[in-house]
Structure 1
Amino acid sequence: MSLILASSSPFRKKLLKKLSLDFDIVSPEIDESRQDNETPKQLVFRLAQEKAREVAKTHSGLIIASDQVATLADGAGVDDEILTKPQSHKNATRQLEQSSGNVVTFLTSLTLLNAHTNNMQTYIHTSKVFFKVLSAEKIEDYLQKEQPYNCAGGFKSETPLGVSLFERIEGDDVDAMVGLPLIQLAKMLEKEGVSILKK
């Protein structure tokens, strides 16, 4: 059965290649806007499923879809503010100032849809990043060197420079923070009869 990655993300493509499986890539065109009163968890859950269903309209096989948001706790400790891709130095500086000494939660959804049977598995992985207290000089130095303006929150968790901003990370799948929870994906594929290794 063919395997399709419903994503245009080069990071997810690179991660999926780690499983040494043949797959095609189809970029789903959907509206990713957050709905009224939708929590970040509800948002990523819905978007992963919508991406998979969109690709299933024109392709068959097993469809892998994912979505991710980074959230920052507000004063009451509620993770509701979604950290977007800053796109500029000014915005990235502001986001890192907000994250300094704080906890950023990554919610990464994963959907595997069997387009033949319509069986759908969906999972959400949670990672927590505990930031060091960052000086203005450290933030500026990091942004000049890494320029992570197309990354949620204004930092790259997968690089040595990025992790130098952290005190620690809590989560049970290192690939999930980059964009695709491979441990869970392997389990989902097994349920659909796809083995990563020979039995």
Structure 2
Amino acid sequence: MIPSSPVPRLILASSSAYRRELLSRLLLPFEVVAPDIDETPLAGEAPTDTALRLAREKARAVAAKAPGALVIGSDQVATLDGEQIGKPGSHAVALAQLQKMRGREVVFHTALCLWDGRVADPERAAQLQDVQVVVAFRDLPDAELDAYLRIEQPYDCAGSAKNEGLGIALLERIDSSDPTALTGLPLIALTSMLRRAGVPFFNL
């Protein structure tokens, strides 16, 4: 374990307001820097590998501009029958996603990377973890799905539903060991990583 003093600079490598809100719950001072990377999945890449690779690339890209900092990168990929389900970007695509997922179980892979800029060896600088969440969607009619989308407009969310908002009404069950993973930042996994990096949470 790296000594807990002094506390390093902490950066969230994300443009997501959801991840920013989640990280703020830990009451740690942090900065937000949006990573500039290509998030396109590679040909033949497994969903887990996509999520882990992008989380690592986001953290590493920001860490390169912030020597000595701890950088948090995260990425989420939703899958149904092994097929990746991305951010819809439009009402029509979101409705098609919800129609395909209704009455089904969808697996969300939320990958997390903590990049420690104090570690010289890039092969040892990153802590990585894929937190999986299984979500069972209710079998709802088109009219309800369409009405939900028009109210909440979750077009920037993988899977076309905000579980932290009205989208919870679309869900029948959420199975996960880390309750904030579905929203985009698994805080149980993250606090474990930060502890290993020597970050204190309580001033005793």
Give the letter for the 2:162 counterpart: K
Could you tell me which runs of 5 or more consecutive residues in structure 1 were left unpaired when the two chains were aligned. Answer: 74-79
Aligned residue for 1:114? 116
Aligned residue for 2:46? 39
Find the partner of 1:149 among 146, 151, 155: 155
Report the number of matched residues: 192
Q: Does 1:191 align with 2:201?
A: no
Give the letter for the 1:97 counterpart: Q
1:53 and 1:88 map into 2 onto residues whose CA distance is 30
Q: Contact 2:76 / 2:158 at 8 angstroms: preserved in 1?
A: no
Q: Which has the higher helix share?
A: 1
Give the letter for the 2:26 counterpart: L
Q: CA deviation at 1:150?
A: 2.0
Find the partner of 2:21 among 14, 17, 27: 14
1:123-156 C-alpha deviation (Å, 9 max, x unpaired): 1100011011111121122122222222212211
Alignment of 1:171-190 (within 5 A): 171-190=176-195
2:109 and 2:192 map into 1 onto residues whose CA distance is 19
Structure 1 runs (4+) greater than 2 angstroms displaced: none
Find the partner of 2:63 among 56, 64, 73: 56
1:148 and 1:58 map into 2 onto residues whose CA distance is 32
Give the letter for the 2:142 counterpart: A
Percent identity over the alignment is 44
Find the partner of 1:84 among 77, 83, 86: 86
2:194 and 2:90 map into 1 onto residues whose CA distance is 39
Q: TM-score, normalized by length of structure 1?
A: 0.92
1:134-186 C-alpha deviation (Å, 9 max, x unpaired): 11121122122222222212211111x21111111100112111110111111
Give the letter for the 2:77 counterpart: V
Q: TM-score, normalized by length of structure 2?
A: 0.90
Alignment of 1:127-166 (within 5 A): 127-159=133-165, 161-166=166-171
Structure 2 counterpart SS, 1:153 = coil
1:150 and 1:52 map into 2 onto residues whose CA distance is 21
Aligned residue for 1:76? none
Alignment of 1:83-102 (within 5 A): 83-102=85-104
Q: Contact 2:103 / 2:136 at 8 angstroms: preserved in 1?
A: yes
Aligned residue for 2:32? 25
1:36-64 C-alpha deviation (Å, 9 max, x unpaired): 11001000111111111111211021111
1:88 and 1:68 map into 2 onto residues whose CA distance is 18
1:71-109 C-alpha deviation (Å, 9 max, x unpaired): 112xxxxxx211122222221111111011011111001
* Coordinate RMSD, CA, aligned: 1.2
Moved more, 13-22 or 143-152: 143-152
Structure 1 counterpart SS, 2:76 = strand
